[in-house]
Amino acid sequence: MTTFIALLRGINVGGHRRLPMAELRGLCGELGLAGVQTYIQSGNVVFAGDGPAAAHEAALEQGIVRVFGFQVDVAVRTAAQWAAVVAGNPLREVAESEADHVLLGVSKRPPEADAVEKLRARATAGERVEAAGEVLWFHYPSGVARSKWTPALIDRLVGSPLTARNWRTVLKLAEMAGA
């Protein structure tokens, strides 16, 4: 069995799309996943399973629709992929001092070739974005809430739904996955 990390996008935000973690763990068990752990309420799941990440993405998305009645984009990566993402953080220095202001962006499909260039053109207040393989790293020195990079804009420029986690969460998920 392979260890995976699943990131659910846009759940339990402002009382919308409520998805209790205990029920999510139960769904994962029904899907045959083992060693299921969740971290905080924003949809972070570590589990072991057989087969490719894409199959787990599809199974989780379909299961969430069936059990909870709404669509959620899910991005799944192996623990090995996650370890490489952590090691390849081009914003590591600032992440160490501003962990809540550095976010990892994981999209369903690889970002468009010009996504970083287009995001940089819309940056304000010292925001930075860097590509590292198939993920993006964002630095929001004034905080995410003040950014002009809305989720809809990011998705459009990336060409795929993207979900983000701050540096603390990235490290915690790596620890949970043994990455």
Is pLDDT of 13 > 70? no
**SS3 at position 108:** coil
Same domain, 74 and 143: no
Q: Give the model confidence (pLDDT) of 133-159 as tens digits.
A: 999 999 999 998 888 999 999 999 999
Structural domain boundaries enclosing 164: 83-177
Q: If DSSP codes are grouped into helix, strand and coil, which group holds residue 153?
A: helix
> What is d(CA 125, CA 141) in angstroms, rounded to the nearest whole number?
7
What is the per-residue pLDDT across 33-64, written as a single tens digit (0 to 9) for each?
Answer: 999 999 988 889 999 999 999 999 999 999 99
Instruction: Choose one of 25, 55, 81: the last residue of a domain.
Output: 81
Do 53 and 31 belong to one domain? yes
Q: Closest by alpha carbon to 128, among 96, 159, 105?
A: 105
Q: Is the pLDDT of residue 15 over 70?
A: no
pTM value is 0.93
Is 68 in the same domain as 115?
no
Q: CB-based contacts of 116: which residues, under 8 Å, 6+ apart?
A: 129, 130, 131, 136
Please indicate, yes or no, whether residues 104 and 64 belong to a single structural domain of this protein. Answer: no
Q: Is pLDDT of 12 > 90?
A: no
Provide the domain count of the chain.
Answer: 2
Cβ neighbours for 115, distance < 8 A, ≥ 6 positions apart: 131, 136, 157, 158, 159
Amino acid found at 105: G
The DSSP secondary-structure symbol of 16 reads B
The position carrying tokens 């998805």 is 19
Answer yes or no: do 66 and 29 share one domain.
yes
Which among 81, 115, 134 is the end of a domain?
81
Last residue of a domain, one of 28, 56, 81: 81
